[in-house]
Structure 1
Amino acid sequence: MARDTRQLAEGLRSWLDRGEGVTGVKVLSAGHSNETYLVEGLNEILRMPPSEEGLLPPYDMVRQHQVMSAVEQHSAVPMPPMLELCTDPAVLGDPFFLMGAVQGEAFEYAVPEWLAADPVEGADAVCRQWFDAVAALHTMDPALMPPGGRSVSEEIAYWLKVAREAEAMPALIRVLEDLDASPPRTTGAATPVHGDPKHGNCMWDKGRLTVLLDWEMAQISEPMLDLGYILMFHGQGEASLADAGFDLPGWWSWDRMVAEWEQRTGRTAVDVMRYAVLGQAKVSAIISVGAHLFRTGRIKDPRFEGFAMVLPAYVGLLENRAMAA
C-alpha cells in the first residue's frame, strides 16, 4: 500500500470542517482495487482509487459516489450514509469520498461462527436478506440513477476485450467469443445493476444484513447479469474458495434463487445458465488481468502470482459449464 496514512489524516484534518476530530487513519483494504480506510475519531470510511496500478481502471470516484447516493436515497438496499465527495487531488492526492461507518462483518472464504451455529434457519435468513437487497436494486427506477451502462452484447464485448488484452487462456477467449456471437436474451427494460453482488460484499451484524458494498461496477443494464453472477458460485468445488456458506443445508439452491428473484422482481429469468457462464467468464477475465500484471512485472504483489495458479481449474469449470449451456 503506497499511501502514508499519517498524510491522509493530516489532509482530512485540514479539509473537513470537523477535521479536528480526526485522530488517525487505519487501512481496512488496500492494494489494486478501490482502497478503504477507517477515519479514526470520526468513525467514518474513506474510499479512494488504488494507490498503485489497478486491476480495472478507470476508478471514477464521482460516479461511485453518485451511484451509492442514489441507491441510498431511492431504494431499500441497505447502504452506508453517504457523506462528502472531494474531486480536488491536491487534498489527498486523488479524488475521494467519505461514508458513515456501518457495524458488521463480511464473509467469503469461511463461514462465521454465528452462521455455523445456525446452518439451516440462519442460512435461509442470510439468503432472504441478500436477495431482498439485490431485488430492491433491480426494481429501483433507473431514472433515479446516474446515467451509464452497457447492453448485454456490450458487456460481453467488454470482457472479451479485457481477456484478450490480458493474454488470457484460449479457453476463456473461446467462451467469450461464443457468447459474443450469440448473446443471451434479456428480461425487459434495463434496471440498476450492481455488477459484483456476491455475498462477500454484504456485511452482517449477528445475522442482520447491514450494508451492500463495492459499487464500482454498477450500471444500468440487464438484471440477469447480477443473478447469473450470483448463481455461478454454486457447485464451483475446489475451483473457488470464495463460496463459503453455499454448502450449508439452509442455503438456497440454484432453482430456489431463480424462483425467489422472479417473485421479487416480477420478471421471468431467461438463459440462466448462459448468464452464469458470463458471470464466471467475467471473474476469469479479472483474474487473468491480475496474473498478467504480475507476469509482466507491473505488479509485484505476490497475491497476484496466486491468480495464475487458480486460473486453470477455474477456466476448466467455465468450459464445462459453457458446454452444458
Structure 2
Amino acid sequence: MAEPVPGLDLDRFGAWLVSAVPGAGGEVTASVIAGGKSNLTYDVTDGTSRWIVRRPPLGHVLATAHDMGREYRVMSALQGSAVPVPHMFAFCDDPEVIGAPFYVMERIDGTAFTRAAQLEALGADRTRTISTRMVDTMADLHAVVPDAVGLGDFGRPEGFLGRQVERWKKQLDSSHTRDLPAADELYRRLSADVPPDGAVGIVHGDFRLDNVLVDAADRPAAVIDWEMATLGDPLTDLALMLVYGRMAAAAGAIVADANLAPGFLTEAEIVERYASRSDRDLSRFGFYLGLAAFKLTGILEGIHYRYQHGQTVGPGFDRIGDLVDPLLQAGLDALD
C-alpha cells in the first residue's frame, strides 16, 4: 500500500485514475508541492507518467472560493490559444473518491519566480526578457474572446467594476479590527465614480510572475492558479499586478518581490508594453489602481484580523497590518 498523503487517498485515487486517464497505472505515489489555505497541489506518478492533481484545502471551505470545476474549465477552454496552460486530463466532481472535487493536469517543467534573488542570478537581460514576455502573455489572455473559446457564460461581466468595489467593502467590514479612515475615503471615491466596464474579457484574478511557470528558454510555459478567474474587465489584472509590485517595495521579504530584480520592467514600462499589445482604453487607469489597492487592503486586513485573533502564525504576519496605510494612500493618490 502506498504511503498516505494528506488529502489524497492514493488507493481510491489510483482506481479512479485508471478509468479516467488512458494508459495510467493504478499504483501511484504522490507528494504535496503546495499547500496552506489555498488549493492543494500534488505531484503524482504511476512510475511511468507524472501528473499534477489539484484539490481544495482540507477542512470546511467555501465552494465558490475553491471551485475545481472552474479552474478546470478555464484552462481546458484556453487549450490551443495564445495563452500557455497545462493540458487538462480529467475532472472528478465525486467527493466519494478523495473527499472533494479535483482535477488532473499535465506536469509542466518551469520555474515560478517569487524572489528578486532568483532573477538576479539570471542577470538583468534575462530578467527583462522574462518580465516582458509575462506582460505579453497577459495581453494575449485579455485578447481572447470568451465566446470564441466557449466561456461566454463563465461569469457576470455586467457591472463588474461596481460589484468589485462592493465585494471588497464587505470583505473589509467582515475583518474589522481597527478604524481605517483612508479606507472609508477610498471606498467613497471609488463607489462614486465607477467607469463603464471595458470590453468583456477573461480575468485571471491573480496574474503575477509567481503564477507563471517560466521554461529554461525564459518563455512562459504555463499560466497557473486560475481559482479566481471570471469574466469582467481585464484591466483589473494589470492594475493588481502593479499594486502587488508597489507593495513588494514596501514589504521586503513578507511578499513576493521578483519585480525588484535589476532588469525587471518598471511600472511605466509594463503599462507601455501592455498598451502596445492591447487596444483597451487606459484613460481611467487610475481608478483601476485605486480598486486594486482597495482589494489588497481587504486581503491584508483579513490576514491581520486572523493574526489578531491568533488564527495565523508564522514569521511576517505581525507586520502585515503595517502595509495597509501606505497601500491606501497609494490608492487615493492613484485616483488623483
| Equivalent position to 2:172, from 163, 174, 178 | 163
Q: Say which is worse superposed, 146-155 or 125-134, in terms of deviation.
A: 146-155
Deviation at 1:31, TM superposition (A): 1.8
Deviation at 1:104, TM superposition (A): 0.9
For the residue of structure 2 that corresponds to 1:203, the secondary structure is: strand
Question: 1:148–1:219: 8 Å Cα contact kept in structure 2?
Answer: yes
Q: 1:177 to 1:152 in 2, by over 3 A?
A: same
Question: 1:15–1:91: 8 Å Cα contact kept in structure 2?
Answer: yes
Alignment of 1:95-134 (within 5 A): 95-112=101-118, 115-134=119-138
- Paired with 2:7 and 2:246, the residues of 1 have a C-alpha distance of 44
- Match of residue 221 from structure 1: 232
| Equivalent position to 1:196, from 188, 191, 206 | 206
- Paired with 2:138 and 2:177, the residues of 1 have a C-alpha distance of 30
- Match of residue 302 from structure 2: 289
- Paired with 2:251 and 2:50, the residues of 1 have a C-alpha distance of 37
Q: 1:248 to 1:294 in 2, by over 3 A?
A: closer
Q: 2:75 matched to 1:77?
A: no
- Match of residue 36 from structure 1: 41
- Paired with 1:186 and 1:71, the residues of 2 have a C-alpha distance of 27
Q: CA RMSD in A?
A: 2.5
Alignment of 1:138-177 (within 5 A): 138-143=142-147, 144=149, 145=151, 146-150=153-157, 151-167=160-176, 169-171=178-180, 173-177=183-187
- Paired with 2:79 and 2:130, the residues of 1 have a C-alpha distance of 21
Q: Say which is worse superposed, 89-98 or 172-181, in terms of deviation.
A: 172-181
Q: 1:56 to 1:130 in 2, by over 3 A?
A: farther
Question: 2:154–2:231: 8 Å Cα contact kept in structure 1?
Answer: yes
Deviation at 1:127, TM superposition (A): 1.6
Question: 2:245–2:257: 8 Å Cα contact kept in structure 1?
Answer: no
- Paired with 1:50 and 1:7, the residues of 2 have a C-alpha distance of 11
Question: 1:123–1:250: 8 Å Cα contact kept in structure 2?
Answer: yes
Q: What letter corresponds to residue 136 of structure 1 in structure 2?
A: D
- Match of residue 137 from structure 1: 141
- Paired with 2:7 and 2:262, the residues of 1 have a C-alpha distance of 47
Question: 1:186–1:224: 8 Å Cα contact kept in structure 2?
Answer: no
Question: 2:304–2:320: 8 Å Cα contact kept in structure 1?
Answer: no
Question: 2:186–2:331: 8 Å Cα contact kept in structure 1?
Answer: no
Q: Across the two proteins, how many residue pairs are aligned to each other?
A: 316
Deviation at 1:15, TM superposition (A): 0.8
- Match of residue 11 from structure 1: 12
For the residue of structure 1 that corresponds to 2:43, the secondary structure is: strand
- Paired with 1:193 and 1:25, the residues of 2 have a C-alpha distance of 31
TM-score normalised by L of structure 1: 0.87
Deviation at 1:181, TM superposition (A): 2.3
Q: Say which is worse superposed, 314-323 or 269-278, in terms of deviation.
A: 269-278
- Paired with 2:263 and 2:202, the residues of 1 have a C-alpha distance of 29
Q: Which runs of 5+ in 1 are unaligned?
A: none
Question: 2:5–2:32: 8 Å Cα contact kept in structure 1?
Answer: no
- Paired with 1:137 and 1:296, the residues of 2 have a C-alpha distance of 39
Question: 2:197–2:233: 8 Å Cα contact kept in structure 1?
Answer: yes
Q: What letter corresponds to residue 326 of structure 2 in structure 1?
A: L
- Paired with 1:189 and 1:177, the residues of 2 have a C-alpha distance of 24
Q: Which runs of 5+ in 2 are unaligned?
A: none
- Paired with 2:260 and 2:69, the residues of 1 have a C-alpha distance of 38
Q: 2:214 matched to 1:185?
A: no
TM-score normalised by L of structure 2: 0.85
Alignment of 1:39-50 (within 5 A): 39-41=44-46, 42-50=49-57
- Paired with 1:56 and 1:235, the residues of 2 have a C-alpha distance of 31
Q: 1:77 to 1:16 in 2, by over 3 A?
A: same
